[in-house]
Structure 1
Amino acid sequence: MTPNSTDRRTFLSGVAGTLTAVSVTGCLGNEAEPDEPEPVVDAAESLEGDTDPETWRDVDEIVFDGYVGGWVGVEPPAIDRVENPTLVLVSGREYEITWENMDGVHHNIAFWDEDSEVVEEYSTDGNETVGMVETLAFEATPEMEHYLCEYQQARQIGSVRVIDD
C-alpha cells in the first residue's frame, strides 16, 4: 500500500465514524426531547389561547379566519393567531361569531353538543368563496361542547367551555 491509500482510508473511516455519531445523537435527541405539536395552518402561531374566565367576561364578538387546516383566531386578543382555540362563553349571554373564508374551500361553522348534534340550530350555511364572511348570532348554552366546520370536522374543530356569570 502506498502512503496515500492509508491516509485516504484513515480519512474515510473518520468521516464514517463522525456520520454514525451524528446520526445516533440525532435519533437519541429526538427521543429525549419530543417535538411539541405545532399549528397546521401557517397563519397560526399557537395552539393554546388564554382561557382565564376573567379575560372573556367582556367578550361578545369572536372572529376567525377559516382554513381547511383549522380555524385561526383573530378576535378577541385571547385567541389572536391561535389555531382552533378554546372559547370561554358565559351561559345565557348573546354572542356573534364571524368568520372569513381564507382558502376557497367550502366551510361553515356550527356548535355541537356531546352527541354531535347541532345546538339550537346554531350553524351557518357555509361558502367556498375567498374573502366571503359569515356571521352567526347565538346564545351560549351549557350543551355546547364544540364549534366546528361540518365539512372539515377532523381539522376545523375547537372546544367550548361555558361558564356561569
Structure 2
Amino acid sequence: MPSDDDHEETESVGPIAIEPGTRITLYGGTAAWEGLEPAPIESVENPTLVLEDSETYEIGWADGDGMMHNLELRDVDGNVVDDLATELTSEGGDGQFLEFTASSEIAQYVCAPHEMTMIGDVQIE
C-alpha cells in the first residue's frame, strides 16, 4: 500500500504507449475508467493512451459498478468520431468493445453519462 508521501506520485502516471493490435480493457466505475489490460495501464485511472496513427486497436469495458455506462471515442470538440460509440448498459463485455483505426481525429475516450469523471485522453503518434 503506498504511503501518503507516495500518493501524489502514483496519481501522475504519464502517457502510456499501446502496441498496435492490442485490446484495451477498462473497468467502468462512475468515479473514473480504470485500466485492466494491457499490463501497463492496470489500476491506472483514466490512463492517457498513446496510439500509432493508422493502426488498429480495440477498446472497451469488461466489468463495471452496475451503473449505466457506454464508451465513446470523441474528437477535441467532444463529437463522436465515425460513430465509434457503444450502447448504454449496466453490463460490460464483448458488446462494449469498439474496434477502430487510430487517427488524429480521436482525442478522448468517454462515458457519456459520466463524462466529467470517466474521461481519458488519446494521443496519436
Which TM class, normalised by the smaller chain length?
Answer: 0.7 to 0.9
Structure 2 gaps of 5+ residues are none
Identity %: 32
- Aligned equivalent of 1:65, options 27, 47, 58: 27
Q: What's the C-alpha RMSD, in Å, of the aligned pairs?
A: 2.1
Question: Under a length normalisation based on structure 1, what TM-score does the superposition of the two structures give?
Answer: 0.65
Structure 1 or 2, whichever has the larger Rg, is: 1
Q: Which structure's residues are more often strand, by fraction?
A: 2
Q: What SS does the aligned partner of 1:78 have?
A: helix
Instruction: Say which structure, 1 or 2, has more relative contact order (CA 8 Å, 6+ apart).
Output: 2
Q: Quick one: which amino acid aligns to residue 33 of structure 2?
A: W
**3-state SS of paired residue (1:105):** coil
Match of 2:11 among 38, 44, 47: 47
SS in structure 1 of the partner of residue 97 of structure 2 = strand
Runs of 4+ in 1 over 4 A off after TM superposition: none
Provide the residue aligned with 1:135 in structure 2: 97
Which amino acid in the other structure matches residue 109 of structure 2? Y
Query: For structure 1, which runs of at least 5 residues remain unmatched after alignment?
Result: 1-32, 38-45
Range moving further from structure 2, 90-99 or 151-160: 90-99
Q: Is the 1:51–1:78 Cα contact (8 Å) retained in structure 2?
A: no
* Residue aligning to 1:155: 117
2:104 corresponds to 1:104: no
The structure with more helix, counted as a fraction of residues = 1
Name the aligned partner's letter for residue 126 of structure 1.
L
Task: Tell me how far apart the structure 1 counterparts of residues 14 and 39 of structure 2 sit (CA, whole Å).
Answer: 9
CA distance in 1, matches of 2:28, 2:43: 12
